[in-house]
Every structure is written in structure tokens, then in C-alpha cells.
Amino acid sequence: MSSPSKRRDMDVMKLMMSDYTVETINDGITEFNVEFHGPKESLYEGGVWKIRVELPDAYPYKSPSIGFLNKIFHPNVDELSGSVCLDVINQSWSPMFDLLNVFEVFLPQLLLYPNPSDPLNGDAASLMMKDKNQYEQKVKEYCERYAKKENIIGTPKDESDEEISEEDFSGQSDSDDEVVGHADP
């Protein structure tokens, strides 16, 4: 068991020493947030997201759980939970991959090449297939509204939490708030 533990420590350290901002949670090795910028020349360029990463005990033999904490409009990302539908993370993960692969290859590829035929967000998938221009406009609106640097600083939950004033807060939105930001197990 020391081998997966050493590998986990090494991968987390590699990520921390790279250009990514990593914010540790609890023990700092198995659960953390990473600042992720939308890839250049994509609809998501200029957007900044906080990504929750949870590493299972069996990492790297078992894939990490990845989830967007602030909202993103994308066919393969669940709008409420932030869960990511990405085959390489969910089904075909290999111990050859590491955390840098997730942030330098897998997530940028997901944003550059959405797959509307395998959606977690049916509205985004449907809009992408029916009206590409309207889809692109909505992606850009979400980036403007939810994916700015100031939206992710110091908030472990979805940005909508900050938009609700105390007098506007009702118990009805509470269940949505609890779901947002939990990575898919």
C-alpha cells in the first residue's frame, strides 16, 4: 500500500509545483481544489473554474473524482453537481495517467470537444445540436457570470451561494447548494 501512497504524494506535489493553484482540504493529500483556466481558442477561454479533486485510497489504480465547483454550461458536465462525464477518467483510467494529465490534457480536451451524444447536461447537449449559435452564446454568458477569478477565491461552493443575500435566502435553494461541488464518486 505504500506504493500508491507514494505515487499519490508525488502526483499531488507535481501538480502543486506546476502552474496550477492548488488549495488543500483537510489532510491536503486526498482532497483539494485546483484553479483551472479555460483552454485558449475555445468558447471557455478566459473562464476560471475551481475544480474539486478527490483521490481514492487506491489512486493511481483507481481514477480521481473530478467536479466543477462553479457553474459551467457544457453537455458533459452536470450543471448542479459539477460532475464530469469523461471516459478517460470514468472508464478507461490507467495508472500511467497522473493529475497533470487531467488538467493539461483531459479537461482541456473536454472543453474543446464536447460530446453531446453522451450528455450529463441534456439542455446543453440539445442546444448544441439544435442551435450552435445560441449554445455558444449561453456558454459565453456562463463564463462571464460564473467563471471569473473573483468567483472562485475563498469559496468552496458554487458561486451562486454568494449571490443570495440573507433576506433572499430560502430553504428551497438549500438542497441545490448542498449538491453543488461534490465530485462524483
Residues annotated as catalytic (active site), given as ranges: 85
Q: What distances in angstroms separate CA 163 from CA 77, 85, 140, 173, one per listed residue? A: 22, 27, 19, 12
Answer for the pair 152, 48: CB distance below 8 angstroms, yes or no: yes
User: CB under 8 Å to 110, separation ≥6 — which residues?
Assistant: 74, 76, 77, 84, 86
